[in-house]
């Protein structure tokens, strides 16, 4: 008769106890992962230090540049400070080359980057992006008002959208994205006349002087021109969107939420419009 082994002699309750211990260990591991691994260390760091580390490339006024004392100024600088004020913390700006900003956030060198950065869907596996705070895409700029003189210059009726471009004269910066889009529009409106100019400013001047019925330019140029020349107005339709966003760490869920809430607050209380007026001379249309 075969002698029973020690394992065979071990009571069944011992195996049940071991299984129970393993189950408890697994549950404990899950709790640890949710409590520790899921923590937003970037947000915790901001609250603990009272500082929000923000990167920018100070070479793109009026969004960011350096004043005579070497301090950062601009739309993005004021925006970062306004967001930080809603949290009760200060901003610590760090200057970096534009191409290195996203990587600096991804590696944890910075907690955010605010530097006229466009939304980059190909980087969503590396970093997170805030809701848009500025629309930099292509817009139509026309003559302001609808008085008879303007209507006559526009060939009858104001140009408020792409649907109004049939038979009109459209000024663009030669070789720009506006030029590319205008050539696509001419397939839709064969009688659309394109007026290529050397710069977006020249295209906008053609509208102001009545040589063109509208210009298709970037929103930044449009804002600056309409603020400086009251003859110009920006049509409400965005032709090609190019939103500027804040770059954030991908796993910083609470920081992402706090930035979104702050942007909503600044939009609701008029702060964003005030910044537009300060740095571009006019609020968005």
> pLDDT digit string (tens) for 190-233?
999 999 999 999 999 999 999 999 999 999 999 999 999 999 99
> Are β-strands 214-218 and 169-173 bridged in parallel, bridged antiparallel, or unpaired?
parallel
C-alpha pair distances (Å), 55 with each of 22, 26, 69, 109, 249: 46, 41, 19, 9, 13
Residue bearing the bigger pLDDT, 229 or 20: 229
> What's the confidence (pLDDT) of residue 35?
42
DSSP assignment letter at 111: S
Model pTM above 0.85:
no
> What's the confidence (pLDDT) of residue 147?
46
Q: Is residue 170's pLDDT more than 60?
A: yes
Q: Is residue 29's pLDDT more than 60?
A: no
Confidence of residue 95 (pLDDT cuts 50, 70, 90): very high
Question: d(Cα 253, Cα 242) in Å, to the nearest integer?
Answer: 24
Q: Is residue 158's pLDDT more than 90?
A: no
Asked if 132 contacts 119 with a C-beta cutoff of 8 angstroms, the reply is: yes
As given in the structure block, the two tokens for residue 116 are 């006229």
> What's the confidence (pLDDT) of residue 156?
52
| Domains of the chain (ranges, CATH numbers) | 41-134+243-280 (3.40.190.10), 138-240 (3.40.190.10)
Looking at every residue in the chain, the average pLDDT score rounds to: 87
Other CB atoms within 10 Å distance of the CB of residue 277: 15
Asked if 130 contacts 260 with a C-beta cutoff of 8 angstroms, the reply is: yes
As given in the structure block, the two tokens for residue 6 are 């020690």
As given in the structure block, the two tokens for residue 261 are 């809430």
> What's the confidence (pLDDT) of residue 256?
98
> What's the confidence (pLDDT) of residue 282?
65
Question: d(Cα 187, Cα 192) in Å, to the nearest integer?
Answer: 9
């Amino acid at each position: 008769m075969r002698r029973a082994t020690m394992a065979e002699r071990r009571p069944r309750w011992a195996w049940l106890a071991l299984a129970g211990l393993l189950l408890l260990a697994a549950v404990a591991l899950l709790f640890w992962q949710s409590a520790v691994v899921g923590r937003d260390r970037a947000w915790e760091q901001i609250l603990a230090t009272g500082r929000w580390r923000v990167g920018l490339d100070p070479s793109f006024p009026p969004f960011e540049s350096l004043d005579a004392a070497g301090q950062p100024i601009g739309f993005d600088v004021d925006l970062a400070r306004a967001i930080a004020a809603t949290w009760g913390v200060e901003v610590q700006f760090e200057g970096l080359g534009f191409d290195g900003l996203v990587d600096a956030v991804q590696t944890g060198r910075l907690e955010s980057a605010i530097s006229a950065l466009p939304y980059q869907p190909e980087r969503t596996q590396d970093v997170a992006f805030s809701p848009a705070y500025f629309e930099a895409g292509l817009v139509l700029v026309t003559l302001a008002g609808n008085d008879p003189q303007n209507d006559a210059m526009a060939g009858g009726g104001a140009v408020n959208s792409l649907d109004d471009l049939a038979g009109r004269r459209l000024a663009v910066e030669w070789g720009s994205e506006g030029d590319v889009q205008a050539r696509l529009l001419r397939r839709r409106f064969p009688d659309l006349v394109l007026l290529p100019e050397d710069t977006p400013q020249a295209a906008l001047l053609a509208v102001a002087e009545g040589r063109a019925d509208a210009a298709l330019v970037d929103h930044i140029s449009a804002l600056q021109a309409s603020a400086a020349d009251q003859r110009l107005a920006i049509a409400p339709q965005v032709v090609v969107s190019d939103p500027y966003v804040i770059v954030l760490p991908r796993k910083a869920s609470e920081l992402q939420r706090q930035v979104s809430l702050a942007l909503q607050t600044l939009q609701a209380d008029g702060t964003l419009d005030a910044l537009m007026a300060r740095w571009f001379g006019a609020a968005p249309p």
